[in-house]
Amino acid sequence: MIRFPRTGAAHASLLAGGLILSALALANLESCANVQAPPGGPPDSIPPMLIAVYPDSFAVVAWTGKREKVRFEFDESISEQNLQIAAILYPFEPRPNVDKGKRELRVRPRAGWVPDRLYHVRIEPVVQDLFRNRIEEPIYHIVSTGMPISENEASGAVIDRIRGERLPNGRVDMVLLPDTLRYGAIADSSGAFTIGTLPVGDYYAIGYEDLNNNMRADDFDRSDTLIVSLGQADTLALEFQVFKHDTLGPALVEVAPIDSLVLQLGFDSYLDPDVPTPTEAIEVLALADSSPVAIDTVFHAWRYTVWSDSIEQVLREAEAAARDSAAAAQAAEQEVVEEEVAEEEAAEREPPAVELRPPAAERQEVQEEEAQQPTVLPDQRLYVIAAAPIPPGSYLVRVYRLLNLSGLVADSEATFEQPEPEPPEPPEAEEPAEIPPDTAGAEGRGR
């Protein structure tokens, strides 16, 4: 037992001072347990820089246990924050074992290294120094436990199939068959990706939008799949056209008459624009007596646009030809006109010598070539062109074995009303010609 002697005021003050010093020392010890930026000096705004990796990238090592680690050494001390999400290991292991020294990160598989395997290590841009300066770009490292290092590569883009635009930050998984070892890459802000140094073999490749950031393609993610083969030094160009896949075939939800000949069919899912729909797949029946309506053509939305544009072009050219014929007939009726005046009037009527558009034959060839190789997007509509005008009344439309973008087929039906045609507008009444005054009578009365 410690006894404090009853002494004077001086001894009591010394004792109190000693207790205060002890309390300050304990406070300092507690503060040392917290990771903080070192005090004093100018603030550091430069992120950590990688200066060495052990073993070297593309090295072949004989690791088979848990003790060996890939070590990433930086030029300054590394913070412990975000340590458990700092690395991704392929074949896919989202949370490998990660620990640190003062200036290095150490990574290894949780179950240990497997012989004859290629490993990809990705250090995420969450690693930071004591001043919270994060590395700006991911760090990639490849090491082999016996498998030969390949020189192959797959690159390309992840594209939104519905909009026709690149998908920023999409993911790509390359699943080696039949082992199902999964390697992966993340597309950049422009939707482009590159992944290489993969084991030789066949791959089930998946491009997808990782909505919940769990690093795998779920049913609710927009995705696209390919089967590819990758050799020792192959270079592949891949394009993933991702979209939300359906679980059922397309159902007809709306029929809208465009005019007496054209019906617009609307469906609840996107259709494959590259697969034509035969006329036998669609049936239009009058509800009164089940009499069929003859169908001439069925178009996808983009083909209908091309078709209607071509008809409008033909009509415009016909109107222009009619105007030219009328002008020529009017010119022929002018019998007594001086030659110079006739030439001036003809020059005013004729188009310029420089032809701004190619001849009709060349335009038709260009249109046919564009129709054969279109850049088209999926749509949820079909257009049915009847062989003759559809009379007013109630009708039933049946669609058989229609294919959607997910490769699923379905039968469906819907009814519609064909309206009465609008009556033609009456012609505008011509204003009566103004009768000139009777000048002859006025002159007679004046005399």
pLDDT tens, residue by residue, 160-193: 999 999 999 899 999 999 989 999 999 999 999 9
The CA-CA-CA angle for residues 212, 214, 220, to 5°, reads: 50
Q: Which residue has the higher pLDDT, 99 or 375?
A: 99
pLDDT at 152: 96
Contact between residue 248 and residue 363 where contact means Cβ atoms under 8 Å apart: no
Closest by CA position to 293, among listed 415, 396, 445, 209: 396
CATH 2.60.40.180 domain extents, the chain: 153-242
- The two structure tokens encoding residue 365: 């060839």
Structural element, H or E, at residue 346: helix 339-349
Contact between residue 415 and residue 254 where contact means Cβ atoms under 8 Å apart: no
pLDDT band at 21 (very low <50, low <70, confident <90, very high): very low
- What pLDDT is attached to residue 224? 96
58: left (phi over 0), alpha (psi -120 to 50) or beta: left
Calpha distance 153→16 (Å, rounded): 73
What rounded mean pLDDT belongs to the chain? 82
Radius of gyration of the chain (CA): 40
Q: What share of the chain is helix, strand, coil (3-state, %, to 5)?
A: 20, 35, 45
In the sheet that 295-300 helps form, which strands lie side by side, from edge to edge? 252-257, 262-271, 379-386, 295-300
Helix axes 301-333, 339-349, angle to 10 degrees: 170
Tell whether the model's pLDDT for residue 261 goes beyond 90: yes
In the CATH scheme, what is the code of domain 248-327+374-421? Answer: 2.60.40.1220
pLDDT tens-place string over residues 324-342: 666 666 666 655 556 666 6
More confident residue, 10 or 376: 376
Sheet holding 393-403, edge to edge: 282-286, 393-403, 409-418
Q: What integer pLDDT is reported at residue 348 of this predicted model?
A: 59
pLDDT the model gives residue 295? 96
pLDDT score for 27: 45
Tell me if residue 347 falls in helix, strand or coil.
helix
Q: Give pLDDT, residue 331.
A: 61
- What is the distance between the alpha carbons of residues 305 and 124, in angstroms, rounded to a whole number? 48
| CATH code of the domain occupying 50-144 | 2.60.40.3710
Give strand pairing partners of 297: 385
CA 40 from chain center: how many Å?
A: 50
What CA–CA distance (Å, rounded) separates 446 from 95?
117
Residue-wise pLDDT for 42-51, tens only, equals 778 999 999 9
135 vs 334: which has the higher pLDDT: 135
Does residue 387 have a pLDDT over 70?
Answer: yes
Residue at token pair 């002697």: 5
H or E element: which one contains 317? Answer: helix 301-333
In the prediction, which pLDDT does 313 show? Answer: 74
User: What mean pLDDT do residues 373-388 have?
Assistant: 86
Q: Extract the tokens encoding 193.
A: 């990706």
HSE of 316, CA atoms in CB hemisphere, 13 A: 7
Tell whether the model's pLDDT for residue 447 goes beyond 90: no
The ranges of the chain annotated as CATH 2.60.40.1220 are 248-327+374-421
Look up the pTM and report it: 0.68
The answer on pLDDT for 382 being more than 90 is yes
In this prediction, residues 333-356 reach a mean pLDDT of 56
Place of tokens 């207790």: 19
Q: Is the pLDDT of residue 114 over 90?
A: yes
Looking at residue 134, its pLDDT comes to 95
Looking at residue 2, what is its pLDDT?
A: 37
Question: Which CATH homologous superfamily contains domain 153-242?
Answer: Transthyretin/hydroxyisourate hydrolase domain (2.60.40.180)
- Residue 9 pLDDT > 80: no
Residue 336 CA to residue 288 CA, distance in Å, equals 66
Q: Give residue 432's pLDDT.
A: 64
Mean pLDDT of 295-299: 95
- Residue closest to 69 by CA, chosen among 6, 148, 168, 143: 143
> Any residues with CB less than 8 A from the CB of 38 and at least 6 apart, and which?
130
* pLDDT value at residue 446: 47
Give me the mean pLDDT over the 415-424 stretch.
Answer: 88
Name the least confident of 52-61, 193-202, 256-265, 426-435.
Answer: 426-435
More confident site: 140 or 349: 140
pLDDT tens column, 195-245: 999 999 999 999 999 999 899 999 999 999 999 999 999 999 999 999 999
Q: pLDDT band at 31, cuts 50/70/90?
A: very low
Opening angle at CA 73, ends 67 and 76, nearest 5: 135
Question: Phi, psi (5° rounding) for residue 362?
Answer: -70, -40
What would the DSSP string read from start to end of 149-206? PP--EEEEEEEETTTTEE-TT-EEEEEEETTTEEEEEE--TTSEEEEE---SEEEEEE
Specify the pLDDT at position 13: 40
The residue to which tokens 């009708």 are assigned: 395
Which of 355 and 179 is assigned the larger pLDDT? Answer: 179
Give the percent of the chain with pLDDT over 90.
63
Min mean pLDDT across 18-32, 57-71, 133-147 is at 18-32
